[in-house]
Amino acid sequence: MKAVIVLRHEPSVSMGSLADTLAAAGLGVRQFDLFESFPESLPWSEAAGLIVLGGTMSANDGDRLPFLVAELHWIRAAIQRQVPLLGICLGAQLLAKALGAAVYRNAQQEIGWHQVELLATAGYDRLFRGRSTQETVFQWHGGTFDLPPGAVLLAQSPLCRHQAFRYGAQSYGLQFHVEMVPELMENWLQEYESNESTCSGSRVEPAAIRAAATAAFPAMRSFSHCLLERFAELCKESRQKQ
């Protein structure tokens, strides 16, 4: 049975709403916890799609985290094999880097609930079409990237221009956490609070993020479900073609 391959970088990073969305679409999952061990290659013959999740490290940390170097090769292989690909936060930065773009610190951190602006290009995109020009998303990042050559920018925000892009017909990078659910958000906030003294320079306001969540999660849910369900459809089509 073909399945969606999911690459995980840290124990605190989970699939969130992705798990239910893929299950509802009848798609299996093959998860690799790269922080424990990583394979020499991925099982491409079994792959209906590839999802690269987030993490607190940088896409430029391959010297101390060798699995990041391996991921760049896997991302290029997925594109060459026409396997649908979704990179989230760090995953988007890895996709950009794999395509030859620079990854670097953003001018400031973007953490918590924010609005992203969907550009005119989004109206013609399979995942984004039909959505509002302003959508609520959850952010947790300090890095950003240049738009890769040949990529199409789909969304931007005042604090970080490159919020979503597509490369080719079915490779997507999302800077925001489209998979966020209340349990995952709370886990991240509690982890931050337990390590706050070592998180110098972080602009995290747990109380404000929690207070905004009551209204923000319903506002984000339609958008996130739309993107993830449409990506799942891409994976189902890919599985049928192979």
pLDDT tens profile 166-215 = 999 999 999 999 999 999 999 999 999 998 655 655 678 999 999 999 99
Q: Is the pTM of this model over 0.85?
A: yes
User: Which domain range does residue 84 map to?
Assistant: 3-241
pLDDT score at 238: 82
Please tell me the total count of domains within the chain.
1
Find the DSSP H helices in the chain: 18-24, 66-80, 90-98, 182-194, 206-241
Question: What percent of the chain is helix, strand and coil (3-state, nearest 5)?
Answer: 40, 25, 35
Hey, which residues are catalytic here? 89, 177, 179
Q: What is the mean pLDDT of the chain?
A: 95
Which domain CATH number covers 216?
3.40.50.880
Confidence at residue 54, expressed as pLDDT on a 0 to 100 scale: 98
Please tell me the distance from the alpha carbon of residue 232 to that of residue 182, in angstroms, as a whole number: 22
